[in-house]
Amino acid sequence: MLRFTLFLFTFFVVTSQSLYSQNRIERMEPPNWWVGMVSEDLEIMVYGKNIGLCEIRLEKYDGVVLKEVKKVQNSNYVFISLTIAPQTVPGNLVFTLNSEKEAQVDFTYPLLKREGNKQHTVGFSSADMVYLITPDRFANGNTSNDNVNGFADKVNRKDKGGRHGGDIQGIINHLGYLSDMGFTSLWINPTLENAMPKNSYHGYAITDFYKVDPRFGSNELYKVMVKKAKEKGLTVIMDMVANHIGLKHWWMKDLPSQDWINQWPEYTETNHRKSIILDPYAAAVDRKTFFDGWFVPTMPDLNQKNQELATYLIQNAIWWIEYSGISGIRMDTYPYPDMEFMNDWSKAISEEYPLFTIVGEEWSTNPNQVAYWQQGKKNYNNYESHLKSVMDFPLQSALVNSLNSEKTWASSWIELYETLAQDYVYADPNQLMIFSDNHDMSRMYTQLNEDFDLYKLALVYLATTRGIPQLYYGTEILMTNPGTDDHGIIRSDFPGGWENDAISAFTGLGLSLKQKEAQEFVKKLLNWRKGAAVVHDGALKHFAPKNKEEVYVLFRYNDQKKIMVVLNKNTKSVRVDLSTYKEVLGEELIGTDILSDVKIKEASELTIKARSAMIIAVE
């Protein structure tokens, strides 16, 4: 195995001549904080040449106490630990640096007033329809930032793995389209700096946790996007990464300490065996490899057991919530970081913002593994999570499998039915994020072998079952990745997002008739769902598909409203005897099919067309 030379770690040897003449503060992170936060604790990472060899004092400031100046292995870092009382007024803290060789130097740190009532920020919920965007591939709103000096990865739309130029301004320019389509929340793949030499467009190799990548825009523009989205009835979910960084992160040139990242004598990749988390027989070496192994050589694995790093990551998430006004976080690879850290991270955020929502990625088709991470779950090892939402990979897999399967002795709907029937393992199944597809898997239309009827059945199910539904950009116009599962192709450019595109999903220019039909279908379905409170939080009851029958029926209901959802996979029309559903319907059905606008009067049976769905608002 090749020796992984990255892990050679050097520290500064400081002589008396170099003490403070070189002293300069290059970074303070977080760059600011706010008064009136729920937590009174703040720890500032200060980075500068030999700063750890200086004495640091805080000038008197009412309400602020300097608890500790933490020195670490690398003398270029100190961690200043403060307590900020609730009634502290905004202003600038003044710190002094002293050394024996140089005159006293002052530096300031801003404490700001909180804007509005961000502590009451309401997160996303089952009332939302989430639209997932890979920003580099959605729309290019500002061509002047396509290439930026100092960033090696240049725009090349012909390179499937390269940067294509999409940016935050492109999202802002099309907020009206997204709102009109019926979406209410935007999950945006990471926009923080990825100063990697190539393949940096996806955003998951972060090189600066406090800076939006200039090829996407700026911190200020991200904040503007959140504000303008809210004006259009859209909230923003920020994609975050706590497990790893990019190899070109500024830390990697000068690590605070050797244990800042998970070090190995030779490069060691994670085994991806997430089952060990629940496995009572798991070997210690397997657990260590899972948690501490790297994803790839270009993504160093962070060691969240280092207390200063853990605090840094927690504060970073809180800083972005407070600064930008986002309404949710999607945490990448949730099970991979240290488990106790992830608990502390989610707990700290929920204590600061009780109504905020975090969804964690646990890519497993086993409901027991997904359920383990949700808040309120009673786990055999007493692990108590503070994570409100988890991504429902089991239901996504079951939906696709059921739609693609042929009936045998039993209905092909059975896998989907039985997966939903396992909701008893979840603390709150209505808080799970359900989805058609995402940036890491083949497009839904491809998964369904480009069968338009199955595509519509899938969308109806996602719009009406329990949970928080999410669609990937381009799902509404049948984007595909035929013949390949290459991520660069899956994340192809959204048509119309670039000047002079021959096809535009925003205007309809050049779309095929089927694409236009799909777009209109999605628009009608989502805008209906937006006002259908019974789907957001009503009770759910489904009926077991009968052997060899290809009809699946479920109901959403509360004291005021009731809807009946009928999904027919048969290649011919089917008559459905409504007496089977009398415990919910009563003796007869009166209502309107939302999709066709057809009224149903005093029916005892229902005819549903081949390979189609009905959403009946029951009267």
* Residue 103 pLDDT: 72
pLDDT surpasses 50 at 19? no
Share of the chain above pLDDT 90, in %: 91
Contact 557, 538 (CB under 8 A): yes
Alpha-carbon distance 20 to 52, whole Å? 10
**2 or 266, greater pLDDT:** 266
128, 136, 239, 332: the catalytic one is 332
Alpha-carbon distance 308 to 29, whole Å? 12
Alpha-carbon distance 489 to 446, whole Å? 12
Q: Which residues contact 92 (CB under 8 A, 6 or more apart)?
A: 108, 109, 110, 111
Contact 603, 592 (CB under 8 A): no
Asked whether the bond before 31 is cis by omega within 30 degrees of 0, the reply is no
Residues 410-438 have pLDDT tens digits of 899 999 999 999 999 999 999 999 999 99
Look up residue 255 and give its amino acid: L
Residues 550-599 have pLDDT tens digits of 999 999 999 999 999 999 999 999 999 999 999 999 988 999 999 999 99
In 3D space, the residue among 323, 309, 385, 397 whose CA is nearest the CA of residue 353 turns out to be 323
In 3D space, the residue among 541, 571, 566, 565 whose CA is nearest the CA of residue 551 turns out to be 566
Contact 330, 359 (CB under 8 A): yes
Alpha-carbon distance 476 to 423, whole Å? 28
In 3D space, the residue among 583, 39, 100, 591 whose CA is nearest the CA of residue 322 turns out to be 39
Residues 521-558 have pLDDT tens digits of 999 999 999 999 999 999 999 999 988 889 999 999 99
Active site residue 332: yes
Alpha-carbon distance 351 to 238, whole Å? 18
In 3D space, the residue among 263, 318, 297 whose CA is nearest the CA of residue 73 turns out to be 263
Structure tokens at 30: 């977080």
If pLDDT is split at 50, 70 and 90, which confidence band does 240 have?
Answer: very high
pLDDT surpasses 50 at 13? no
* Strand partners for 95: 58, 107
Alpha-carbon distance 229 to 235, whole Å? 6
Give 112: exposed, middle or buried? Use CB within 10 Å, 0-12, 13-18, 19+: middle
* Residue 1 pLDDT: 36
* Residue 121 pLDDT: 87
Q: 608 in helix, strand or coil?
A: strand
If pLDDT is split at 50, 70 and 90, which confidence band does 291 have?
Answer: very high
Kindly state the average pLDDT of the residues 361-379. Answer: 97
Alpha-carbon distance 134 to 203, whole Å? 9
Share of the chain above pLDDT 70, in %: 96
- First and final C-alpha spacing in the chain: 69
167, 213, 361, 362: the catalytic one is 361
Residues 463-504 have pLDDT tens digits of 999 999 999 999 999 999 999 999 999 999 999 999 999 999
**Average model confidence (pLDDT) for the chain?**
94
* Residue 409 pLDDT: 87
Among 48-57, 114-123, 256-265, the minimum mean pLDDT is found in 114-123
Residue 517 sits at the vertex; the CA angle it makes with 512 and 523, to the nearest 5 degrees, is 125
Kindly state the average pLDDT of the residues 360-377. Answer: 97
Contact 231, 211 (CB under 8 A): no
Q: 218 in helix, strand or coil?
A: coil
Alpha-carbon distance 580 to 346, whole Å? 45
Contact 566, 606 (CB under 8 A): yes
Distance, CA of 523 to chain centre: 23
Contact 255, 207 (CB under 8 A): no
In 3D space, the residue among 175, 172, 153, 173 whose CA is nearest the CA of residue 164 turns out to be 153
Kindly state the average pLDDT of the residues 59-80. Answer: 97
Structure tokens at 338: 């240290």
pLDDT surpasses 70 at 23? no
If pLDDT is split at 50, 70 and 90, which confidence band does 120 have?
Answer: confident
Domains and CATH numbers, the chain: 5-114 (2.60.40.10), 124-243+306-535 (3.20.20.80), 536-618 (2.60.40.1180)
Q: What is the DSSP string of 568-605?
A: E-SSS-EEEEGGGGHHHH-SSEEEEETTT--EEEEESE
Alpha-carbon distance 444 to 132, whole Å? 13
Q: Which residues contact 75 (CB under 8 A, 6 or more apart)?
A: 11, 12, 14, 50, 51, 52, 53
Kindly state the average pLDDT of the residues 365-378. Answer: 97
| HSE, side-chain direction, 13 A CA sphere, residue 305 | 12
Q: What is the DSSP letter of 546?
A: P
Q: Which residue has the tokens 């799902």?
A: 475
Q: Which residue has the tokens 């200060």?
A: 46
Residues 185-222 have pLDDT tens digits of 999 999 999 999 999 999 999 999 999 999 999 999 99
Residues 383-399 have pLDDT tens digits of 999 999 999 999 999 99
